[in-house]
Chain A
């Protein structure tokens, strides 16, 4: 399968713990996006990378959140000191270089903070 992959698919953690999610984009895609989706809502944009450069961050991305894409391939999203409000589905998408390129999504990581 050559689609976007995300790991883990599910994560349960206790409040205050740190969690890290990984996203592997489609291999030839140089743009990578993170979204968050809470119950009953559409996905909301968090941040995006072009190659290894993080070019945009939403105000939703508090200072407890950090995203990296060190070699321009896979990306990680870390949440420090998790809160119950962080419980959501975290989605990753990738696209090619042109501004019109379609974004293809991964299956998501569902986070539950107890």
Chain B
């Protein structure tokens, strides 16, 4: 699976959009981009995933650049409960097992 690079930390004001970047310059054509988050002392929570088109669900939006070498997770109206470590993971579509987590980005939402 391709390696990802994320900033170690970011801050966001409550009510504002949080934009979390991820670089995956070595991504292959059959690799998906997954986002999980982990609130302190809890298990990782699935957020969203995509291949090449932008995706949106009730939690977030995922914007993938046309060359697929980077993506951005957008939380449109961040709340204090969105404070967590956010992991960007690239996963081969045919892969049927492990997710390879990096250290992620600690997003702190401030009041």
Interface size on B, residues (CB 8 A): 24
State in angstroms the CA–CA spacing of A106 and B42 once bound together. 8
Complex Cα distance A51/B11, Å? 42
* Known A42-B87, A42-B104, A102-B49: A56·B97 in contact at CB below 8 Å: yes
Q: Contact between A42 and B101 (Cβ–Cβ < 8 Å)?
A: yes
Report chain A residues within 8 Å CB of B95: 99
Q: Are A100 and B32 in contact (CB under 8 A)?
A: yes
CB atoms of A44 and B101 under 8 A apart = yes
Answer whether A56 and B42 are a contact pair too, CB < 8 Å, given A40-B103, A100-B32, A100-B93: no
Q: Is the CB of A102 within 8 A of B46?
A: yes
CA of A2 to CA of B2, assembled, Å: 32
Q: Is A45 an interface residue (CB 8 A)?
A: yes
Q: Does B81 touch A at the CB level, under 8 Å?
A: no
Give the interface size bracket for A toward B: 20 to 34
Is A21 in contact with chain B by the CB < 8 A criterion? no
Residues of A within 8 A of B42 (CB): 107-108
B residues 23-68 in Cβ contact with A at 8 Å: 32, 34, 36, 41-46, 49
Taking Cβ atoms with an 8 Å cutoff, the residues of B that contact A are 32, 34, 36, 41-46, 49, 85, 87, 93-104
Point out residues on A near B: beta carbons under 8 Å: 4, 31, 33, 35, 40-45, 48, 50, 55-56, 58, 91, 93, 99-100, 102-108, 110
16 A-B contact pairs sorted by A residue (CB < 8 Å): A35-B99, A40-B103, A42-B103, A50-B96, A91-B43, A91-B44, A93-B43, A99-B93, A100-B93, A102-B34, A102-B46, A103-B99, A104-B46, A105-B44, A105-B45, A108-B43
Given contacts A102-B46, A104-B46, 19 further A-B pairs with CB under 8 A are A33-B98, A42-B102, A42-B103, A43-B101, A44-B101, A45-B97, A48-B98, A58-B98, A91-B43, A91-B44, A93-B44, A99-B93, A99-B95, A99-B96, A100-B32, A102-B49, A105-B36, A105-B46, A107-B43
In the A-B complex, the 10 residue pairs with the closest CB atoms: A42-B101, A45-B98, A105-B43, A99-B96, A48-B97, A105-B44, A108-B43, A107-B43, A43-B101, A99-B94
